[in-house]
Amino acid sequence: MTDSAHGDGSQSALFAGDDPILNSDDDLLNRSRLAVAIADEVQEMNADRGAVVAITGKWGTGKTSLLNLTANILQEKETIQVIEFNPWFFSGTDQLIRFFFDEMTRQLRSERSGKKRLKDATANIAEKFSKYSTSLSPVKFIPVAGQILDVAQKTAEGVSQALTASIHDQRIEISEALTKLDGRIVVLIDDIDRLTRQEIRDLFRLVRLNGSFPNVVYLLCFDRSVVESALGEEGLNGAAYLEKIVKTSVEVPPAADEALASVLRTGMLTALSNVPLTASGENRFPDVFWQVVRPLFHTVRDVKRFLSSLTLTVRSAADEVALPDLVALEAIRVMRPSAHDLIAQNVRALTAVYGWQTETRNQSILDADAEVVTALQAELPDDTGRALIRYVFPAAQVHTENMWHGNDSLQAWRRDRRVAHATVLKYYLHRELPSGAAPSSQVDSIVYAAGDDEAFRNALAAVPDHHLEDALDRFLSHVDTIDSSRIPPVVVALLDLLSRFSEESSGMLDVGRDYTALRPSKKLMQRVEPANADLVARTIYQATKSPYARLRFLSLVGKRQHSEGQIITPELETELRANLQEYLKSAPADALRTERELLRTVVQVIDCDAESGELAIASADSSEVTARLLETALSPSRSNMIGSVVVNSEDRLAWEPLISVYGGESRLSSAVEQLKESLAGQEIGSRLQRAITAFDLYSTGWRPDEF
């Protein structure tokens, strides 16, 4: 995802975590003009008896950033000496007083920050502050009243004395020195609202006590509501108390909608600069951004928090999750974690599609899902919840807009890697693909390679067998993008994949792995112009070597019961079936000994007679072909008790078809005995061993109760 807007170096501040900006180069909200105004006010305001200026605002509005911009301007002025005081370095009233004046002394003496014009004067003032700090070391504050109690304490040398008069005299000396200062001292104090309530009270008592020193301006930064609450304890009116201390205040203005949207967009473009955006994602992205993502953000700090996590999320999930969905869910996770929790806990409610027929719907499930959707919308602002359903979880529109989706939608959502599909949403939540699911990179490689024979076959070969079904299932939704001239070689390559599928059933609900290769083949053939269908079909048939693959191809394009009509002419179908029949009858054992679904292929192509005493195919008397026919006759019968998760499995043989291929049971038995003899002393595969065991059982006359 690229855009010229993200080339501006100033946006690097967006990826500095929660840190405030330090200079105007990083000023994304154009606050520099306000900083100039504040600096001018601090420099020109009447400070004959000191002054206190406050920059206030809610958490995350940019108070510290504005303070930093203002401080930079003040530090450039020769008549301003800036002192930065960090209240987090003290603990307790005694330490606060001593630390404050010690810090004033150190920074006034500093060669690095000192101003040449003020050097002599500030050095003198620093000495007076140092003595004042030493004198104040035994002083205590009386809570509430804010008065000073001069308590006699022992000094380090063990000398005890009363200091009230000394402190008074020193304050007069300091005031006289400050009055003569050809400039002013500005004390910056930030993060006041993050102190404890007691520490806030102590700090403002300190400012009130020393806020009248001439030519000293305190520039404070805090959330007004927090400070007023802290100052309002023990019977005091916090707002009134604050008004007595703060002479001038400025509220940090909220970011304008346009400015914040620009900042968010700029940061996202940078974070996502190396992530490709699909056509589908590009179409949805504006709606997702403006209607789902943008309403969640109110401050630049919000944006920074989001961007700092988005880059990591993109690294870990962008290969499997569509970019608009990734951005939307990550924004919700950061800004509305309770809504994100609801999503994580209710995958089915947000991704399930229902049949059109009323009688097939479970109303209680629909009602429960509707409650989940309502709760999710309530966690999000205004119309954001409805937009989230419309653009991110469209299956749930059944509850909000009475819009129903079906399996075609599911296919499209999986193709486009949308979290509207349960598999994609689960990947986002867990960062792990379910067993058998192919990484999207494998699907992409197949799609992108479809334009070249060798590249396409190499891409298919690179997909592991345990990922092949899922990869082809998802490839189905891409076949419409394949050029029509590429249909024959693509279909041939798909048919050649049938030999890679395991013949073992994967469970009670297994409908056959072959269909993952056959469905895209059929969809491709349906795109062929009728006038060219026979030519294309003949080309594919001749290029396909496996008899089973040829049979399945003819089943796709020929006449079928309850079908929408055949693709090729009846004449061609008859011709090709006759060709396949002749081939099977005379094919050598080497050509059939590893053939997939050999028994099924033979009985569907050749009219086998169990009473004829003749072999249906010449190579059936070969031990290798007999083994293959036995293996492909084997199938498991599975059952389980109602309420139980235990599945019972029992091997069955297609007994009658086997007998028909051999022209009778006697000849079949002879062929199997010959097979056993050939296997003597050899290691036998599990499937063949099970088939021979089942054959022996059937030979005794046993038959399953139901077959």
- Return the HEC string of 542-553: HHCCCHHHHHHH
DSSP secondary structure of 589-643: HHHHTT-TTHHHHHHHHS---TTS-S-SSGGGGSHHHHHHHHHHHEEEEEE--TT
Residue 189: strand, helix, or coil:
strand
59 Ramachandran zone, left/alpha/beta (phi>0; psi -120 to 50): beta
d(CA 81, CA 74): 8
Q: Do the beta carbons of residue 296 and residue 337 sit within 8 Å? A: no
Angle at 549 between CA 548 and CA 551, to 5 degrees: 65
DSSP secondary structure of 486-553: GHHHHHHHHHHGGGGS-SS--STT---TTHHHHHHHHHHHTTS-HHHHHHHHHHHHHH---HHHHHHH
Cα dihedral sign for 467, 475, 398, 278? Answer: positive
DSSP state of 228: H
How far is CA 299 from its chain centroid? Answer: 22
Q: Do the beta carbons of residue 332 and residue 343 sit within 8 Å? A: yes
Take residue 196 and report the two structure tokens written for it.
Answer: 């404890």
Burial class (CB in 10 A: 0-12, 13-18, 19+), 172: exposed
Q: Do the beta carbons of residue 91 and residue 193 sit within 8 Å? A: no
d(CA 540, CA 453): 14
Compute the radius of gyration of the chain from its Cα atoms.
Answer: 41
d(CA 383, CA 377): 8
Low-confidence spans in the chain with pLDDT less than 50 = 2-11, 138-165, 506-511, 561-562, 707
Q: How far is CA 447 from CA 286, 404, 485, 686, in A?
A: 27, 29, 15, 36
What tens digit of pLDDT does each residue of 371-405 get? 999 999 999 998 999 999 999 999 999 999 989 99
d(CA 124, CA 263): 47
What single letter denotes the amino acid at residue 278?
Answer: T
Burial class (CB in 10 A: 0-12, 13-18, 19+), 585: middle
Q: Do the beta carbons of residue 221 and residue 55 sit within 8 Å? A: yes
Buried b (16+ CB within 10 A) or exposed e, 113-132: ebbeebeebbebbbebbbeb
What single letter denotes the amino acid at residue 647?
Answer: V
The CATH homologous superfamily of the domain defined by 30-142+160-251: P-loop containing nucleotide triphosphate hydrolases (3.40.50.300)
Burial class (CB in 10 A: 0-12, 13-18, 19+), 367: exposed
Residue ranges covered by each domain of the chain: 30-142+160-251, 257-430, 593-706
Q: Do the beta carbons of residue 560 and residue 566 sit within 8 Å? A: yes
Count of CB atoms situated within 10 Å of the CB of 462: 13
pLDDT of residue 162: 36
pLDDT of residue 134: 73
d(CA 531, CA 150): 109
d(CA 308, CA 706): 63
Angle at 341 between CA 335 and CA 344, to 5 degrees: 125
Size of the chain in residues: 707
Task: List, as own/partner pairs, every contact residues 442-448 make where C-beta atoms lie below 8 angstroms and the sequence separation is at least 24, other chains included.
Answer: 442/467, 442/471, 443/471, 443/474, 443/475, 443/478, 446/471, 446/475, 447/475, 447/478, 447/481
pLDDT of residue 179: 86
Take residue 148 and report the two structure tokens written for it.
Answer: 């000073």
33: Cα within 13 Å, side-chain hemisphere? 4
In the chain, what's the furthest Cα-to-Cα distance?
A: 131
Q: Do the beta carbons of residue 386 and residue 377 sit within 8 Å? A: yes
Count of CB atoms situated within 10 Å of the CB of 417: 28
Nearest Cα to Cα of residue 570 among 582, 556, 559:
559
pLDDT of residue 589: 95
pLDDT of residue 117: 66
- For the chain, the straight-line distance linking the first and the last C-alpha, in angstroms and rounded, comes to 58
Q: How far is CA 20 from CA 16, 66, 70, 304, 639, in A?
A: 8, 9, 13, 10, 65
Q: What kind and span of H or E run contains 306? A: helix 300-317
d(CA 269, CA 248): 40
Q: How far is CA 351 from CA 328, 413, 419, 426, 470, in A?
A: 16, 10, 8, 11, 19
Take residue 230 and report the two structure tokens written for it.
Answer: 């802290």
What single letter denotes the amino acid at residue 347?
Answer: V
Q: Do the beta carbons of residue 288 and residue 391 sit within 8 Å? A: yes
- CB-based contacts of 76: which residues, under 8 Å, 6+ apart? none
pLDDT of residue 7: 42
Checking DSSP bridges between strand 140-141 and strand 634-639, what pairing results, if any?
A: unpaired
d(CA 162, CA 228): 35
Burial class (CB in 10 A: 0-12, 13-18, 19+), 212: middle
Nearest Cα to Cα of residue 294 among 324, 339, 337:
324
